[in-house]
Chains A and B, each alone.
Chain A
Amino acid sequence: MQWQPQADQNSRIARATMLRTIREFFYQRNVLEVETPALSQAANTDPFIDSFEVVISRLKRYLHTSPEYAMKRLLAAGSGDIYQICKVWRNEPLSTHHNAEFSMLEYYRVGFDLADLMNEVEQLFREILPDLKSDSKYQTYESLFLDNLGFNPHTIASEALQRCVVERVPSFQGELDRQASLDLLLTHCIEPDFDNDRITFVYDYPASQSALAKTEAISDRSSTQIAKRFEVYIGSLELANGYQELTDASANQAVLEKELEARKALGITAVPEDRRFLAAMEADMPECSGVAIGLDRLLMRATGASTLAEVLNFSWENA
């Protein structure tokens, strides 16, 4: 019976140092640390994120998959800039970069647009990972596909996209819709080539991937809608996911409804939508940007570990 931790003492010290750096970073910038509940009556409606249910007698609660809904209730109540460091849970299979329970830093900056927030995330990462090269890469989703695969992901015809999938990922077995085809090409043909020693920001995603990010026309001359969203990578390791937040109440409501419909279409269990969150959006939600950062993955990079389990005292199978 293995009772010993997987992480060594150096990794524990690195984690404590990282947490201290983060708290100092936000203290300097006057961002307030907050806490919100881990067990909620509502769940994340995103069809690709699976919440754990906790059932005690007839009471059902869901472990949060991120503190997003609750933190936005604080923002709507006038909290101003806030951050939270907490455990979150996602029912996903274990792998070298996945553990169903993981540590997240989520923070919101009032009045920031997407570029402001990317800039600040870069500063934070640089404090935690001082060996990173200073010239981070900023690439739109569109330019990534143009540079690597030679097509525009927003406008490519479906048949041409299918041909590209067959040609580039011959190992794929099954059928894919448009967005899933782009996901496959991104994870299999583009992410593996990201630089290991610098940050890559990918931003301006297809509107179909907006979640709770704002959408807008890609340019004055185009009707193509994009999501004001970014992802942060170091190498192919995805570390953070940021939004310029959707503040309109009815638009937020529409996203949740659409996600619940997608769940139905995919045959995934329905979950109760967060009505308290939606009610807060009716109130005074400020214009802001927010980001969720995977702290265990960041620590992997900081300690040079090759698997997530190495930086966890007790990983899922040892918990």
Chain B
Amino acid sequence: MASYNTSEFKSGLKFMLDGDPYNIVENEFVKPGKGQAFNRVKIRNLKTGRVVDKTFKSGEKVEAADVMEVNAEYLYTDGEFWHFMQPTSFEQYQASDTAIADVKNWLKEQESYIVTLWNGEPLSITPPNFIELQITECAPGVQGNTAQGATKPATVQTGAQIKVPLFVEEGEMVKIDTRTGEYLSRAKES
């Protein structure tokens, strides 16, 4: 198994710690005038998403995590797994409940996602920053009401609850920022 020396630490590097894969968020090198140097890192557990602080003796080695990212389209769910496919190789991946937990609100068929694989298995799914979804439920639109900031609750096709401006109608396509869950605009007519 490949390993990394602390001198190779930089943000984005993925390694194993206590059996879990981690991603380096921040790395700081600290050295007293003489003597032992340390690497102080913020690392994200790729299974739980939690960020923790760790300090390593400089010169220590850690085991590389077999983690890679692929672009894949969401196909369907069979209730137990969520299926994705790499459009060029037709390679399919089945993601578990935990892997899709964070992206459940933004899963749309034929949309492209980043699938993070650990030892070949999907570990987490990252949605595109912006996604277009259909409003399946909301109070009727108030024509001509363009008051700044006034919103009403709405449900989109994935079941996610968002807030939309008063003029938005049921059945319309809207553009959403998946990082904040905020409505951005009506989707352009295609």
Question: A residues bordering B, Cβ < 8 Å?
Answer: 46, 48, 92-96, 98, 169, 171-174, 176, 179-180, 183-184, 186-188, 191, 205, 209, 211, 229, 231, 238, 241, 266
Contacts and interface: CB of A to CB of B under 8 A. Distances in A.
Given A191-B32, A238-B33, 10 more contacts: A48-B35, A92-B29, A93-B9, A96-B28, A171-B52, A174-B60, A188-B40, A209-B34, A238-B32, A241-B34
B54 interface: yes
13 contacts: A93-B6, A98-B29, A169-B55, A172-B56, A173-B54, A174-B60, A176-B57, A180-B36, A183-B32, A184-B55, A191-B32, A205-B34, A209-B34
A183 B59 CA distance: 15
A171 B55 contact: yes
Given A171-B52, A174-B57, A180-B57, A48 B37 contact: yes
A-B complex: 7 closest residue pairs judged by Cβ atoms: A95-B29, A180-B36, A183-B36, A171-B53, A183-B35, A231-B33, A172-B55
B16 to A, nearest CB: 12
Nearest to A48: B35
A187 B38 contact: yes
Nearest to B60: A174
Contact of A186 (B32, B53, B60): B32
Contact of B34 (A48, A94, A95): A48
Contacts of B54: 171-173
A95 B36 contact: no
Given A183-B36, A211-B34, A173 B28 contact: no
A4 B51 CA distance: 36
A159 to B, nearest CB: 20
Interface in B10-38: 17, 27-38
Interface of B: 6-7, 9, 17, 27-40, 52-60
A186 B34 CA distance: 11
Given A92-B31, A173-B17, A184 B56 contact: no
Contacts of A48: 31, 34-37
Contacts of A241: 33-34
Contacts of B55: 169, 171-173, 184, 188
A95 B28 contact: yes
Nearest to A230: B33
Q: In the complex, which of the residues A173, A179, A186, A191 has the most CB atoms of chain B within 10 Å of its own CB atom?
A: A173
Contacts of B35: 48, 179-180, 183, 209
A96 B30 CA distance: 10
B30 A187 contact: yes
Contacts of B38: 183-184, 187-188
Contacts of B17: 173
A95 B28 CA distance: 6
A253 to B, nearest CB: 19
Contact of A187 (B6, B7, B32): B32
A266 B36 CA distance: 12
Given A98-B29, A173-B17, A183-B32, A92 B37 contact: yes
Contacts of B31: 48, 92, 98, 187
A96 B60 CA distance: 21
A28 B61 CA distance: 51
A95 to B, nearest CB: 4
